[in-house]
């Protein structure tokens, strides 16, 4: 990836975090920690990797995306609005409000959203069905699904891993947003996945580890995944929960679902701006 392109996408990821904060401040609720950890994954997919746009929303050869960790919907809405699926102002002003279509989990009545999610452990099995269906038709597209690491305690996730390995779905790429925190504490305390790499590999998957908050590393991982011809790929995206929001919120389980107060808001915006400036000065 060209340096200028990388810097452009890194800056975009930071700007979209501001939209996320605005949505959450206006609505008074949202899953800000996971929104921030997953942002580079979404930006890399939507602005560099996937064959998708509002014009192609019904094209059978489009790439498919499922946000299995549906609670990170604020970052998803911010990305889709930027991509042109719906107006940015509308989502920021009406998110989670009475009667809004911008529900607190993905709503497939909105353009650009393939399936409803929110109940964890559904996205991977659904994506297996999408990838299997496309493969049976001989389509050349790819299916992407993003899960949280806390989500991996759901047994249905492993049913999905098993089936994708069994059917050698090389057109399927799963990302685990490995921020190692969930609502009650660290994932290792709640339900450990210390050997996640080996666990997934043993289900017949190609596994790649990458810094999930690095556009460049995620892009390389997605490129590598495309070269695999006989198995699905899982990218363990090692991330920091709250990444980009600065010390006030980074790596803190309590920010899983936290609405910043005015002071915290300013600190987050300042941290985002400082990071943007550092990128610009690179």
Partner 1 sequence: MNKIPNRKAICDTLMEHAKTDKNIVALCSDSRGSASMTPFFDEYPEQSVEVGIAEQNLVSISAGMAHVGKKPYCFSPACFISTRSYEQAKVDVAYSNTNVKLIGISGGISYGELGMSHHSAQDIAAMSAIPNMRVYLPSDRFQTKKLIEALLKDEKPAYVRVGRNPVEDIYSEDNIPFEMDKATVFKYGEDNKKKVVIVACGEMVSEANKVAKELSEKGIAVTVLDMYCLKPFDSNTLVREIQDVDVVISIEEHAPFGGLGANVASVVSANKPCQVVQMALPDDHVITGKSKEVFNYYKLNAEGIVENVWKKDIL
Q: Which is nearer to partner 1, 140 or 166 (CB)?
A: 166
Q: Which is nearer to partner 1, 32 or 163 (CB)?
A: 163
Our finding on whether 110 is near partner 1 (CB under 8 A) is: no
Our finding on whether 116 is near partner 1 (CB under 8 A) is: yes
Q: Give 168's contacts (C-beta < 8 A, 6+ positions apart).
A: 204, 230, 231, 232
Q: How far apart are alpha carbons 75 and 173 in whole angstroms?
A: 20
Q: Give 39's contacts (C-beta < 8 A, 6+ positions apart).
A: 13, 16, 17, 20, 75, 79, 213, 243, 244
The span of 10-18, 28-36, 153-161, 247-255 binding partner 1 (CB under 8 A) equals 153-161
- Which x/- pattern, by CB under 8 A, does the window 57-96 give for partner 1? ---x---x--------------------------------
DSSP labels, 87-98? -HHHHHHHTT-T
Decide: 173 and 95 in contact? Cβ < 8 Å.
Answer: no
Decide: 66 and 130 in contact? Cβ < 8 Å.
Answer: yes
The span of 4-12, 123-131, 193-201, 205-213 binding partner 1 (CB under 8 A) equals 123-131
- Tokens for 202, please give them: 């043993």
Q: Which of 3, 138, 155, 282 binds partner 1 (CB under 8 A)?
A: 155
Our finding on whether 52 is near partner 1 (CB under 8 A) is: no
Decide: 122 and 151 in contact? Cβ < 8 Å.
Answer: no
Our finding on whether 202 is near partner 1 (CB under 8 A) is: no
| Residue numbers at the binding site for partner 1 (CB under 8 A) | 60, 64, 108, 114-119, 121-122, 125-134, 136-137, 155-156, 159-160, 162-163, 166
């Amino acid at each position: 990836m060209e340096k200028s392109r990388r810097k452009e996408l890194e800056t975009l990821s930071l700007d979209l975090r501001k939209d996320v904060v605005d949505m959450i401040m206006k609505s008074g609720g949202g899953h800000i920690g996971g929104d921030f950890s997953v942002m580079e994954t979404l930006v890399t997919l939507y602005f560099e990797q996937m064959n998708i746009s509002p014009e192609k929303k019904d094209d059978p050869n489009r790439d498919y995306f499922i946000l299995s960790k549906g609670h990170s919907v604020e970052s998803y809405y911010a990305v889709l609005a930027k991509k042109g699926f719906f107006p940015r102002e509308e989502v920021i002003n009406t998110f989670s409000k009475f009667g809004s279509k911008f529900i607190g989990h993905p709503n497939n009545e909105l353009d650009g959203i393939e399936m409803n999610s929110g109940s964890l452990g559904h996205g991977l099995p659904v994506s297996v069905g999408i990838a299997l269906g496309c493969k049976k038709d001989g389509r050349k597209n790819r299916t992407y699904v993003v899960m949280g690491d806390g989500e991996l305690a759901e047994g249905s996730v492993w049913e999905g891993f098993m089936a994708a390995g069994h059917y050698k779905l090389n057109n399927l790429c799963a990302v685990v947003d490995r921020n190692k925190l969930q609502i009650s504490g660290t994932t290792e305390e709640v339900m450990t996945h210390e050997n996640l790499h080996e666990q997934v590999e043993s289900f017949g998957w190609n596994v790649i580890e990458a810094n999930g908050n690095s556009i460049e590393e995620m892009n390389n991982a997605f490129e590598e995944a495309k070269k695999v011809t006989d198995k699905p790929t899982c990218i363990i995206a090692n991330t920091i929960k709250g990444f980009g929001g600065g010390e006030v919120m980074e790596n803190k389980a309590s920010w899983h679902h936290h609405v910043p107060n005015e002071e915290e808001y300013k600190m987050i915006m300042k941290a985002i701006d400082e990071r943007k400036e550092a990128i610009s000065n690179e």
